[in-house]
Amino acid sequence: MMQEEAKTKILKNESLARYTSWRVGGCADRVFIAENINELQAFMQTLDHAEPIYFIGLGSNLLVRDGGVRGTVIVMHQALCDLRLDGKFIYAEAGVTCGKLARFCANNYRQGAEFMAGIPGTVGGALAMNAGCYGSETWNIVHQVLTIDRQGQSHVRNEAEFIPSYRHVEMPIPDEWFLGAWFKLETGVAEESLKKIKNLLASRLASQPLNLPSAGSTFRNPHGDFAARLIEASGLKGYQIGGAQVSPKHANFIVNLGDATALDIELLIRHMKDTVLEKQGVALQQEVRVIGEYA
């Protein structure tokens, strides 16, 4: 029965443009939309050991090349969305948006997760890249995580098993993906936390080009500096390749003006890197993950 249900969620030769925040990218051989963890486990057990697997949430830190993706893409958003109090912890599955988690914590008198409202992705993505903003990072508040391996087996792991760093997490076991996490937070005042979230979102709206498709920050901030400052100082604000543009509002954002291709975006990323290195002497590190093949 479980296998039958899982098969109905498989979409073949599916365009990934609708699953990424840049709204670009080719087709995946297969897209699987998990309804719950049991269904995902059953599906994983059917996959060949050599099958390439990609997990995506909101696709907000992802560039899919125009030639598409060979293998299986597993979509977590709108699927693994359990969010609840679990004893003294807050448990959130990988498909829960970071903004929803932040508000849930605040409304349940927990403080310390307000910054999550500024992360335009899901819990799974935030765990995978140690996403953060405004001086806080995801792994600062993680107690335990739930993962899944290629064989469809789930594992509860303590945060001490992982080595988080700036926008990166070293996994103890290769080929495991995040299904959820238990977050450790202090008791707080709901009104104060909600006010922080409101102010953070207002600041984000004022400083970021949220009216156009983008993937958030393109580059990591170098130690002691800001990627946006270096890009702007290199004269790149507003620079355009095809339908992709360095945002005039925030230089570390690349926006899709409506007709960008993945290649436009990738070429623009490369040009930004080269120009900043030449003019500022700094080698920017890409924050955006790139998958797939060229057209």
Residue 9 has what pLDDT? 86
- Reduced to 3 states (helix: H, G, I; strand: E, B; else coil), residue 19 is helix
Residue 78 has what pLDDT? 77
70 belongs to the catalytic site: no
| CA distance linking residue 234 with residue 241, whole number of Å | 16
Catalytic residue, chosen from 60, 217, 234, 247, is: 217
| CA distance linking residue 285 with residue 222, whole number of Å | 8
220 belongs to the catalytic site: no
154 belongs to the catalytic site: no
Q: Per-10-residue mean pLDDT for the chain, 295 residues long?
A: 50 96 97 91 93 94 97 90 96 97 98 96 96 93 97 97 94 94 97 96 94 96 96 98 98 98 98 98 97 96
| CA distance linking residue 224 with residue 250, whole number of Å | 18
| CA distance linking residue 206 with residue 201, whole number of Å | 9
Catalytic residue, chosen from 39, 93, 114, 287, is: 287
Going from the N-terminus, what domains does the chain have, and what CATH number goes with each? 2-75 (3.30.43.10), 83-207 (3.30.465.10), 227-291 (3.90.78.10)
Residue 4 has what pLDDT? 40
Q: Which of 172, 149, 155 is nearest to 40 (CA)?
A: 149
Catalytic residue, chosen from 65, 167, 193, 214, is: 167
Q: CA dist 225 to 221, 247, 284, Å?
A: 6, 19, 11
Residue 276 has what pLDDT? 98
Alpha carbon distance, N-terminus to C-terminus of the chain: 38
| H-helix segments, the chain | 2-7, 37-44, 98-107, 123-129, 190-207, 227-233, 262-280
Q: Which residues, other chains included, contact 234 with Cβ-Cβ below 8 Å and sequence gap of 6+?
A: 272, 275, 276, 279, 280
Strand-pairing partners, residue 157, are: 145
Overall pTM > 0.85: yes
